[in-house]
Chain A
Amino acid sequence: MDNGNVIEIRDLTAGFDGRTVLDNISLEVRRNEIFVILGSSGGGKTTLLKHIIGLLRPEKGSINIFGKNTLEMNDDEFESILKRIGMLFQGGALLNSMEVWENIAIPLEQHTDLEDEVIHRIIRQKLSLVNLRDAYYLLPSELSGGMKKRVSLARAIVMDPEILFFDEPSAGLDPITSADLDRLILELKKKLGITLVIVTHELESIKRIADRIIYLQKGKNIFCGTIEEAKKAGIEEIDRFFGWEKD
């Protein structure tokens, strides 16, 4: 952590049923940057994300979060790491039977013994941060796709995470809502000093928010750096992805 890296991954190799999905991936994510994981479908993006947050375990390699190897931790130690990170799932992953405020209250009620009034005010503040003041008592089924994403964003940031993981934030959203979400992401980065790790395909979105990118092709890291560097690198696959093919 001292060198400014919140996540460091070394030689990560992982697979399912003998099929290698991630092949010797090494990367580091610096504090307060927006790090975007790119790649074609099936390239291992979501798998990489799931390994970082501990939903899957690798075959070999190491994953350091806040300078500690998460693969060597016991459950309690890992839980204390989890309390410092937030995750936003593709579909929002809100609990359908609970109202919006109850969804956001889950981590507060489980991990603190704050008064109900304080919890309610924290929820209100987070909802106004994502511009959803009126959604307080609604059920997830009454929300639109973009609203669901924003509610789950509010839930993900309610404990002030230091790292926030996003799985395809713009999937299924129209360009305007998607741009709004990007603005929100940039605001969070600036206001709260959060580090963001984002998996996405949206070109516009990547150009707007990414500080650095990693490009995975068939589980291999073929590029890691800023977009400008990617442009200069002249890697065919990346040029095709961004539409930078030579005239």
Chain B
Amino acid sequence: MIEKTDINTLKVTGDFRNDMINEFKKHYNDLNKNSSKPVIDLSEVEHAGTLAVAFLEFISRNKKFDIRTGEGLRSEIDKFARESGYENAETKLSFIDRTVVTVSGFFKELGSFTVLSADIFYYSLRSVFNSSGRRKGSVFEQMFLMGNNAVPIVALLSFLIGLVLSLQSAAQLKQFGANIYLVDLIVIGMILEMGPILTSVIIAGRTGSAIAAEISTMKITEELDALKVMALNPLKYVVAPKMLSLTVCLPILTVLSNLVGIFGGFVIGILYLDLSFDMFFNRTIEVMTLYFWWQSMLKSILFSWLIVLIGAHFGFKVKGGSEAVGKAATSSVVAAIFAIIMTDAVLSLIFYFEW
């Protein structure tokens, strides 16, 4: 039982159970604030729980308090202090150290990413000519999963983007009577930028996260180790089929996205800008050059590699348990989208200024 016998004294009697600790703490804080010579009388405590002992040990270091305990409780507190009074080497770093650790950690990760990427390229390339060490039909299975199943969403979103992009530009072009230039806008915009980016962002969310989740789960459940022991290289067995199939699928999906996006523009051109089919078609042929398509394909192939490499990287570096899998998937998507847009910006600048 806890009672305040006078303004300066807190007295506990009988059993000092763990569930009394919150109440005791409230009184203690009160006393600490309002009293100049506080006394805690514990001489009549018969038994105290661990939490109570731990808290008493903590406040016994507050010199302001006069703490009276019986022999038994005193020795329990001392024993607790002995048993808990060791330090674990927790690394408390200064700001500079932390910065160094963060920066060096980033470069270390970049290094391991580079090494992993080189390995994946090597095994994927070998896998093209020599299918030993990967499951029969795994490339086609992956193509079906990554490519075929993504067609509806890529097509729908590309159509909508093409449609709204054209609509917004059409409103401006109409003011100058420059209706026909809608074709230039949408053809160049879709093929060079929107097509590759939109498709790879969708695929990064769909496939990149799946790659990271699959590999990290395999790592946590020791499936990767099992493969290694069966003399199978996980990069060749698991990653290479994904690499190969996405290298094929993403450019195809990008072509689809480009065409469907341009069709979206066509719909606006016909319905809103009163362009005829012939005008739109002829202008499209004039504007569209092989050079644009070549850029578009180059971008989409690079993006497909980024998606697989980043997914694999976050998958392989996972540590811990079930929650880490979710984190790996999230980080892989964020990193992949970041890398895709960065690469796109660099490539666009290079191509535009013909460096």
Q: Footprint of B on A, CB under 8 Å?
A: 80, 83, 95-97, 108, 112-115, 117-118, 121-122, 124-126, 128-129, 133-134, 136-137, 139-141, 158-160
> What is the CA–CA distance of A139 and B319 in the complex, to the nearest angstrom?
9
A110: min CB distance to chain B, Å: 12
A-B contact pairs, 17 of them (CB 8 A): A80-B19, A97-B321, A112-B21, A112-B51, A113-B25, A114-B21, A114-B25, A115-B58, A118-B57, A121-B84, A122-B51, A125-B50, A128-B84, A133-B86, A141-B319, A159-B18, A159-B51
| Dominant secondary structure at the B interface | helix
Q: Known interface pairs A97-B324, A139-B320. Does A121 touch B49 (Cβ–Cβ under 8 Å)? A: no
In the bound complex, residues from chain B placing their C-beta under 8 Å from that of A108 are 51
Q: Which 3 A-B pairs have the closest CB atoms?
A: A96-B321, A97-B323, A125-B84
> What is the CA–CA distance of A126 and B319 in the complex, to the nearest angstrom?
26
B308: min CB distance to chain A, Å: 26
A105: min CB distance to chain B, Å: 12
| Of listed A80, A115, A158, A160, residue having the most chain B CB within 10 A | A160
B346: min CB distance to chain A, Å: 36
Residue contact A118 to B55, C-beta cutoff 8 Å:
yes
B91: min CB distance to chain A, Å: 9
Report the nearest B residue to A157, measured CB to CB.
Answer: B50
A77: min CB distance to chain B, Å: 14
Residue contact B90 to A114, C-beta cutoff 8 Å:
no
> What is the CA–CA distance of A83 and B22 in the complex, to the nearest angstrom?
14
Q: Is B274 an interface residue (CB 8 A)?
A: no
Residue contact A113 to B320, C-beta cutoff 8 Å:
no
Report the nearest A residue to B322, measured CB to CB.
Answer: A96
- Chain B interface bracket (under 10, 10 to 19, 20 to 34, 35 or more): 20 to 34
Q: Known interface pairs A121-B58, A125-B83, A129-B83. Does A97 touch B320 (Cβ–Cβ under 8 Å)? A: yes
Q: Is B277 an interface residue (CB 8 A)?
A: no
Residue contact A160 to B86, C-beta cutoff 8 Å:
no
Residue contact B83 to A158, C-beta cutoff 8 Å:
no
Q: Known interface pairs A112-B51, A136-B88. Does A121 touch B323 (Cβ–Cβ under 8 Å)? A: no
Residue contact A128 to B86, C-beta cutoff 8 Å:
yes
A163: min CB distance to chain B, Å: 15
Residue contact A96 to B323, C-beta cutoff 8 Å:
yes
CB proximity to A under 8 Å, residues B298-346: 319-324
In the bound complex, residues from chain A placing their C-beta under 8 Å from that of B324 are 96-97
B50: min CB distance to chain A, Å: 5
Per-residue contact bits, chain B 31-55, to A (CB 8 Å; 1 contact, 0 not): 0000000000000000001110011
> What is the CA–CA distance of A83 and B88 in the complex, to the nearest angstrom?
29
Q: Known interface pairs A112-B22, A113-B25, A129-B83. Does A118 touch B58 (Cβ–Cβ under 8 Å)? A: yes
In the bound complex, residues from chain B placing their C-beta under 8 Å from that of A137 are 88, 90
Q: Known interface pairs A139-B320, A160-B50. Does A128 touch B83 (Cβ–Cβ under 8 Å)? A: yes
Per-residue contact bits, chain B 93-128, to A (CB 8 Å; 1 contact, 0 not): 000000000000000000000000000000000000
Q: Is B202 an interface residue (CB 8 A)?
A: no
B128: min CB distance to chain A, Å: 36
> What is the CA–CA distance of A159 and B22 in the complex, to the nearest angstrom?
14
> What is the CA–CA distance of A160 and B53 in the complex, to the nearest angstrom?
11
> What is the CA–CA distance of A147 and B135 in the complex, to the nearest angstrom?
38
